[in-house]
Structure 1
Amino acid sequence: MVLLRRVLVGLAVLALGVVPSIAPASAGVDSVQWQACAGRPDADCATVSIPVDWNRPGGASTGMAIARHKASKPLQRKGVLFVNPGGPSGSGVDYALSISANPRYQALIDDFDIVGFDPRGTNRSSDIACDQSILDEPVEWVPATRTQYRDLLAHNDRVADNCKALNGKLFDHVDTVSVVRDMDLLRKDLGESKINYFGVSYGTQIGQQYLELYGDRLRAIAIDSNMDHSIGATRYEATAALAFENSFKDFAAWCARTASCSLHGQDVLALWDSLYARASAGTLVDSTGKAVSADELRDLAFEAMYHPARAWFGLADSLKKLGTPAFAPVTTEDNSYQAIWCSDWTWPTVNSYHALADLRSVSEAAAPHTHFSDFFSDVTSCLGWTGPLNNPQHTLRIRNAPPVLMTNGIHDIATPYEWATNVAKQIPTATLLTYDGTGHGDYGNSLCAHDAIDAYLVDLKLPARGTHCPAEWPTAPAAGSVAPSVVAELRH
């Protein structure tokens, strides 16, 4: 019945003298048991079974939550577009439902079945659960003493043991390779011989590793703001620190030339250095008398660098008023982040307090104003970790792949530009589009990159190699703008 309907649609279009643009030939029939998503009758939701351990595909299984919004213009359908928003632990289900209701994505909504899934061990897919009292143990993620370093290692060991005890075998198999295999199983369940993929941030690592294993099963793949799963601790932290430093300098320069910035006319870097020194000395307080730490101050600025249009006006206001209004940065706990991250990343050179202190020195040398990236904890969260390491860093080995579109901002707070240029060298078919601005996620920060991604995914039209998109700077607070203290996006 499904095949017949496709044939009839094609014949009807041909009768009008128009060549149809239909999906690639399917490998079979969609076997997923769909039902309407709660609160979204225009979208379908389901749970599919995946093996807990891909080395034993016939053994224990778990459920993976998925969502789909069918192409709004079926006669233009180009197949399914798998999407992932990053994380690790971001919800692909929520992302697919969000995309399908957002006019900014209209070209993709028209031409693709938008499909998202919650990766194993996250959200609706057996979210990793750990004892909150252990997660909340006071610990310094940037240890300043040997005692703090030893306490950190012991804490990470306790978290790993507790998460393992509460989650069983699944805890041992939440690495990205397992996620990639789940994604390909979903491709088969949907009856598709080839898929399309759009991933952002950590979602680019999923895309890169899908290219390694199943590159010939992709029609098109766009990866926006790229991870580099081939680098060690020193390069990771030095580039991340420099990205924060350069992003904040962009903010300061923007204030200097933007009359509507509340810090216009002031030396923003000098103000920041003064606030940071006071916070480090314990003398910076909010209107309630509560001390504002250097970590909290740095988080305030770090979060605002993701989306300048949404957060820079609020950041300027917060820095100007700091010490007068109440200040309450948001912190979030994510059980699955650490378990997934430390299944994929290892830092063997950071094997002592001395080595960690050297790493901090490298970071602070790269960033004299902002000091180090908030992703310093991406290293320290895995020190002393006793969970499995199934997918350590390696250079990509890609043999069968379609043309790949990569995009990255030159001052991307979460995925530094240097990472993208290094990954582009590892993907023979890659075209890297550069956004000459600040922010994370080019599809949302750059109209030029947005249009290029649409053109490639829909029509397979790549920009010329070496293409740059101009920087876009906020001119007025955008609708939906928020103070950076409530932008909880401290993740890739």
Structure 2
Amino acid sequence: MHTRRTHRRTRTGRTRTGATLLAAALLATACSAGGASTSAGSAAAEAAGATEAAKVSLAALPQATPPALAPYYEQKLSWRDCGVPGFQCATMKAPLDYAKPTEGDVRLAVARKKATGPGKRLGSLLVNPGGPGGSAIGYLQQYAGIGYPQEVRAQYDMVAVDPRGVARSEPIECLDGREMDAYTRTDVTPDDEGEADELVDAYKEFAEGCGADAPKLLRHVSTVEAARDMDILRAVLGDEKLTYVGASYGTFLGATYAGLFPDRAGRLVLDGAMDPSLPARRLNLEQTAGFETAFRSFAKDCVKQPDCPLDDQGTTPDQVGKNLKAFFDDLDAKPLPAGDADGRKLTESLATTGVIAAMYDEGAWQRLRESLTSAMKENDGAGLLVLSDSYYEREADGGYSNLMFANAAVNCLDLPAAFSSPDEVRDALPDFEKASPVFGEGLAWSSLNCAYWPVRPTGEPHRIEAAGATPIVVVGTTRDPATPYRWAEALAGQLSSGRLLTYEGDGHTAYGRGSACIDSAINAYLLRGTAPEDGKRCS
């Protein structure tokens, strides 16, 4: 079963947090979970809602630190060995509720790798891989702290904080391993009322599990609160301004920081950008179209390869899509064996997740072709199941990371639910299926998950202008599946100092994915403060 999210990916088909792939049923949601709900789900009504939302801008907070928050801003971190060579870890306190800062704390895990030199130290560079729910510390230790350009690592302390509710920072837990196995294979293309009821029951069980685990924390894991936590960390680290690279959902987090603290926003890189002005339903619909764009790019490449299993009856992207949809329909009727030690089979839902996961990175296309060939020609679903498991961060012992739990918790708090009932989903199906004949139905139904959330949302769609901030670099990839290019254009246009940097290519995000043009532009900005010309394009 998909959950809406986005994530940072590498060219090899592995996420930079150590898992191998991911996808989302609204995944993108990248950043958010809900949407200003309209009753009929018409595209015209959603567009009008998005336009209306764009008139509301995120307001900056007062520049002076409130006295009640002074103890947090003045705390000293006690650094210790992480167990990973070269990295140090610490625990930082933040108020559970910023409106009542004296009524309880949340403890946040922080990690750093100090600047390696030579050269002048420029301060701290905070990184976030997206999600929401991705472990920033995992990303730092497994990629950014060793894989970012040497000259960047030489002059910056590389720093990460797991946002509240995520990974090492008081993680939210909702279901155990067996319950998650059942949840991920739930049919998200219900054929009748009975199957729709089963899907609703699955969403309710998931939500109830989250609510039972962390009833207080669940109300305080919003993006705004996570951005305020980053400002405490900036101060504790001794930096006058925040330097930051955020990918995917991390762009929403970074833009939110800039909107709240424009005077403290330093060199910010927002790679694979999201549009905060969209209601969730529109967000999900546009992401659905993004996955269709990515799939059509894959399809065009697939039919050129000798091992493409999807070209039996034609080589156009439309026909390739029809062949894949027919395969999904067959799985809906009869799941395939997958050689799984726990007896799991490859269902339509799990196969769809595996395919969507591979859309994040063209480096995974060969692996996807091989997995589809095994499933379609040899009745072996193991390859696609592995792709799906890596997206959900299922461990070898059958347990799961808390990525999906935190993802839902943040999304469902940040925006009102995209749909409030199965009937609203049914009304919206034509729009979603038009956006993607292959994935639209499943992604529409996946957008229903926040309807049953135990906590009311605290956020609404809004513009982010960050008036007064220094230049902010917004990066968009033209065929990005999870964060469509239009979102980067929109965010760069909202930010008063936004500079749009475009990568003409495939995959999710652009920095560190092989484009010397992109990398040199971002490195020049991070190291010398030289922002690229607005509208610069790379390939």
- TM-score range (shorter-chain normalised) is 0.7 to 0.9
Contact 1:207/1:221, CA 8 A, preserved across alignment: yes
Residue 326 of structure 2 corresponds to 277
> Alpha-carbon deviation of 1:121?
0.7
Residue 4 of structure 1 corresponds to none
SS at match of 2:532: coil
1:321 aligns with 2:389: no
Residue 246 of structure 1 corresponds to 293
The one-character-per-residue Cα deviations of 1:32-83 (angstroms, maximum 9, x if unpaired) are 111121132x221101111111111122112100001111116322111110
Residue 513 of structure 2 corresponds to 445
Output aligned runs, 1:337-486, within 5 Å. 337-347=407-417, 350-368=419-437, 370-372=438-440, 376=444, 379-447=447-515, 448-470=517-539
From 153, 169, 177, the equivalent of 1:125 is: 169
Evaluate the alpha carbon distance shift between residue 430 and residue 313 of structure 1 in structure 2; reply closer, same or farther with a 3 A threshold: same
From 260, 274, 281, the equivalent of 1:213 is: 260
> Alpha-carbon deviation of 1:391?
2.2
Evaluate the alpha carbon distance shift between residue 80 and residue 380 of structure 1 in structure 2; reply closer, same or farther with a 3 A threshold: same
The one-character-per-residue Cα deviations of 1:302-325 (angstroms, maximum 9, x if unpaired) are 11111112x111112223333305
> For 1:399 and 1:151, how far apart are their aligned partners in 2?
47
> Alpha-carbon deviation of 1:268?
6.7
SS at match of 1:319: helix
Q: What root-mean-square deviation, in Å, do the aligned CA atoms of Structure 1 and Structure 2 show? A: 2.9
> Alpha-carbon deviation of 1:378?
6.0
> For 1:61 and 1:285, how far apart are their aligned partners in 2?
47
SS at match of 2:511: helix
Contact 1:244/1:372, CA 8 A, preserved across alignment: no
Contact 2:129/2:246, CA 8 A, preserved across alignment: yes
Q: Give the letter aligned to residue 342 of structure 1.
A: C
SS at match of 2:110: strand
Contact 1:223/1:407, CA 8 A, preserved across alignment: yes
Contact 1:122/1:336, CA 8 A, preserved across alignment: yes
> For 1:356 and 1:219, how far apart are their aligned partners in 2?
42
- Runs (4+) of structure 1 moved beyond 6 Å? 27-30, 259-266, 287-291
1:255 aligns with 2:307: no
Higher relative contact order (CA 8 A, sep 6+): 2
Residue 225 of structure 1 corresponds to 272
The one-character-per-residue Cα deviations of 1:154-196 (angstroms, maximum 9, x if unpaired) are 5544443442332242121011111111111111111221120
> Alpha-carbon deviation of 1:229?
2.1
> For 1:182 and 1:94, how far apart are their aligned partners in 2?
18
From 68, 75, 82, the equivalent of 1:37 is: 82
> Alpha-carbon deviation of 1:152?
4.5
Evaluate the alpha carbon distance shift between residue 234 and residue 337 of structure 1 in structure 2; reply closer, same or farther with a 3 A threshold: closer
Q: Give the letter aligned to residue 31 of structure 1.
A: K
Deviates more, 1:226-235 or 1:274-283: 274-283
> Alpha-carbon deviation of 1:144?
4.7
Evaluate the alpha carbon distance shift between residue 384 and residue 145 of structure 1 in structure 2; reply closer, same or farther with a 3 A threshold: farther
Q: How many residues align?
A: 440
> For 1:318 and 1:409, how far apart are their aligned partners in 2?
26
SS at match of 2:452: coil
From 160, 165, 169, the equivalent of 2:212 is: 165
Contact 1:141/1:381, CA 8 A, preserved across alignment: no
Evaluate the alpha carbon distance shift between residue 374 and residue 388 of structure 1 in structure 2; reply closer, same or farther with a 3 A threshold: same
The one-character-per-residue Cα deviations of 1:2-46 (angstroms, maximum 9, x if unpaired) are xxxxxxxxxxxxxxxxxxxxxxxxx99982111121132x22110
Deviates more, 1:242-251 or 1:124-133: 124-133
SS at match of 1:110: helix
> For 1:58 and 1:29, how far apart are their aligned partners in 2?
15
The one-character-per-residue Cα deviations of 1:190-241 (angstroms, maximum 9, x if unpaired) are 1221120100011111101001111211220000001222212442233212
Output aligned runs, 1:20-59, within 5 Å. 31-40=76-85, 42-59=86-103
Evaluate the alpha carbon distance shift between residue 30 and residue 165 of structure 1 in structure 2; reply closer, same or farther with a 3 A threshold: closer
Contact 1:452/1:463, CA 8 A, preserved across alignment: yes
Contact 1:53/1:173, CA 8 A, preserved across alignment: yes
Residue 336 of structure 1 corresponds to 406
From 330, 355, 362, the equivalent of 1:308 is: 362
- Tell which structure's C-alpha radius of gyration is larger: 1
The one-character-per-residue Cα deviations of 1:367-413 (angstroms, maximum 9, x if unpaired) are 23x23286546622111223131223222242231101011111111
1:86 aligns with 2:155: no
SS at match of 2:133: coil
Contact 1:52/1:61, CA 8 A, preserved across alignment: yes
Output aligned runs, 1:75-154, within 5 Å. 75-132=119-176, 139-149=186-196, 152-153=199-200
Deviates more, 1:313-322 or 1:335-344: 313-322
> For 1:439 and 1:228, how far apart are their aligned partners in 2?
18
Contact 2:129/2:247, CA 8 A, preserved across alignment: yes
Contact 2:203/2:452, CA 8 A, preserved across alignment: yes
Contact 1:29/1:190, CA 8 A, preserved across alignment: no
Output aligned runs, 1:171-190, within 5 Å. 171-190=218-237
> For 1:364 and 1:461, how far apart are their aligned partners in 2?
43
Residue 62 of structure 2 corresponds to none
The TM-score, its normalising length taken from structure 1, stands at: 0.81
Evaluate the alpha carbon distance shift between residue 149 and residue 397 of structure 1 in structure 2; reply closer, same or farther with a 3 A threshold: farther
Contact 2:119/2:154, CA 8 A, preserved across alignment: no
Contact 2:136/2:162, CA 8 A, preserved across alignment: yes
> For 1:273 and 1:304, how far apart are their aligned partners in 2?
18
Contact 2:309/2:372, CA 8 A, preserved across alignment: no
Q: Give the letter aligned to residue 351 of structure 1.
A: S
> Alpha-carbon deviation of 1:148?
4.7
Give the gaps of 5 or more residues in structure 2: 1-69, 393-399
Give the gaps of 5 or more residues in structure 1: 1-26, 471-492
Q: Give the letter aligned to residue 523 of structure 2.
A: D
> For 1:384 and 1:417, how far apart are their aligned partners in 2?
31
Residue 191 of structure 1 corresponds to 238
> Alpha-carbon deviation of 1:150?
5.0
Evaluate the alpha carbon distance shift between residue 394 and residue 149 of structure 1 in structure 2; reply closer, same or farther with a 3 A threshold: farther
Deviates more, 1:155-164 or 1:216-225: 155-164
The TM-score, its normalising length taken from structure 2, stands at: 0.74
> Alpha-carbon deviation of 1:100?
4.9
Q: Give the letter aligned to residue 367 of structure 2.
A: G
Residue 487 of structure 1 corresponds to none
Q: Give the letter aligned to residue 213 of structure 2.
A: L
Contact 1:407/1:442, CA 8 A, preserved across alignment: yes
